[in-house]
Structures are given as structure tokens and as C-alpha cells.
Amino acid sequence: MIEVKNLVKRYGNHLALDNVSFTVENGEVIGFLGPNGAGKSTTMNIITGYLSSTEGEVLVDGVSVLDEPEKAKKKIGYLPEIPPLYTEMTVEEYLLFVCQLKGVPADKRVETITRITRQTRIADVRKRLIRNLSKGYRQRVGIAQALVGDPDVLILDEPTVGLDPKQITEVRSLIKELSETHTLIISSHILAEVQNVCTRVIIINKGRIVATDTPENLAKSSVKSNKLEMRIKGPKNDVLNGITAIEGVTSAEIVRIREEGSVDIDIDTDDEHDIREAVFEFCSANHYPILQMRSLEVSLEDIFLQITGEREARRS
């Protein structure tokens, strides 16, 4: 269990963290979200003891990171934003060094390395120099490093940033696996990343926590507007006018024309009305074939933008 209490971090006059508090229970998977520069890495660096906070404290299983750093650090595995790799070493040498550093007993080191390389699927590159590895592999070596010493808590700072789509899928499935056996904190500025694995999302902006909830609840509570995305065959103005006239439509606009003779329309509706049937009735009555109809789900992206935007609006 991690308790973060009233963290404040000042860099000179710049306030990087402003009274950040949250608790992570054992087994939870926390998504730590925020735009770049919001204070995600700073928070993680303070939890892991790399930086010290100006005020406030962090307790890992009741152990203060500041007062008993060795004891607290043993409980945490950390993958910083840039994996801390010694590129002139081979993967095996590197992991052996990390084992020594984290005090894994000498007789367990070989076994540990074998297990971890298998788990992170880097067993095939064990003998290669880290310098020659692709970014995806490096990231996984970074995760392997965090796993050394069997920490209960894993903290991963933007684990998929800068990877190609295939590597992202690989790292994500690895994270999913790890989430079953560890307490996890994952930071990201991409919301899809945490949506699938996380049990709870903490949104941080400009050094303050602006929202914390499950991904589902956030979706329910924050955004009420409903959206339809349609492609209808028919004369542009007639279609638009007809749809705007349907009860419940708050706005409709033509976004583009993709197919000859048809229009793509985005429709916003209020909460009470489900207009899909009405739209169908209107189109069939006028013989405007519906080529496509999709209701847009609210993504965390929208919530995120809304929450961080609202705060800014309120301040200014």
C-alpha cells in the first residue's frame, strides 16, 4: 500500500506539485494521467526516492521513503521515463548488476535472471549488448530491471512512449500480465493505454489532482453529451435541414464528403432523446439511403480534455 500525503515540490519559484495526495491499495492498478509537464514524473520520482519533496511524505507499507529509504526502496520496482540502461553491457550482465545492487542473494541470481528474462520475453537477447537492441527490447529490459528483487509495487513511467505499434501491443500485454501479481502505477499521457488495465485513474494537471475514479465512473459522470456520426446519401442541404429538425438534435454539421453524392454528418443530441430511429424514419421517408451510422462512445480522452479544460477556464 502506498500513501502519498500532501506532496509539494518546488523548483525555485515554479510549483511542480501542489498538495498531491492519494492512496494506492494493494493489488490496485492505477493509471496516472496528465499532459506533459503535469507532474507525473515528479510524483513518481518522489515516490521512488529519486527526488525529495519540498513538503509532504510518502509511505510504502507504512515505511517512509525519506526516513528509511533502503527499506522502502526495496518494496518498489521503478521504470523511469528513460530506461536506466548501461548500453555497453549485455542484457545478462546488466541484470546481474541490478541483482547485486538490489541485494538478491548470490545463489538466487541466475534463477532470478532466467525467470525474469522469460517473463519479459527477452531471453533470446540475453547475450546481446543493450546498445544494439531495438527500443521495444530496451523497454522490456527496463521492465525486467524493475522486476528484480521481487518488489510488490511496480511504478512504470510512460512505458510505451516512443514504441512502434507492434512493440506497444507487446509491452501492453506484458503490463496486463504484471498487473495480476503486482500493485501497479502506470503513468501516461495517452488514455487508451490505461483504460484497459487500470482499476482506477488519477488525472493530474499542473501539479494538482483534478479527478480520481474508475475509468467507467469517470465516463459516466463527466460527459453527458451524445454524439452520432452518420453518412447519408442525398442532397446536402435537404439532409442537413431535415436532421436538424428532428426533436432532440442540438446541433448537426457536415464534416466532410467522402463518397460521391453523400455527406458525413456529426450530430449532437441532448440526453433524453435517442434519435437513431427518428433519423431512420426521416431518411427512409425521403429515400435517403443511410450508408453509415455510429454512435460515438465517450472516451477518456474527452473526459480528460474536459476536466483539464474546465479547470483552466475556471482559473482564468
Binding residues (CB under 8 A) for other proteins: these are 11, 45, 48-52, 69-71, 73-74, 76, 78, 80-82, 84-89, 93, 97-98, 100-103, 145
Which one, 14 or 166, has the nearer CB to other proteins?
14
Which one, 84 or 289, has the nearer CB to other proteins?
84
What are the two backbone dihedrals, phi and then psi, of residue 127, each rounded to the nearest 5 degrees?
-90, 0
| Shortest Cβ 81–other proteins spacing (Å) | 8
| Shortest Cβ 70–other proteins spacing (Å) | 4
Which one, 78 or 288, has the nearer CB to other proteins?
78
Phi-psi bin for 27: left (phi > 0), alpha (psi -120 to 50), beta? left
Sorted by sequence, the CB contacts under 8 Å of residue 183 that are 6+ apart come out as 1, 2, 24, 25, 26, 27, 28, 29, 152, 153, 154
| Shortest Cβ 14–other proteins spacing (Å) | 12
Which one, 24 or 146, has the nearer CB to other proteins?
146
Which one, 53 or 179, has the nearer CB to other proteins?
53
| Shortest Cβ 92–other proteins spacing (Å) | 13
Sheet holding 249-256, edge to edge: 249-256, 262-269, 226-233, 290-296
**Beta bridge partners of residue 204, listed in sequence order:** 209
The runs of H, that is alpha helices, within the chain are 40-47, 69-73, 91-101, 109-119, 135-147, 165-179, 191-195, 215-222, 236-245, 276-286, 300-315
| Shortest Cβ 141–other proteins spacing (Å) | 12
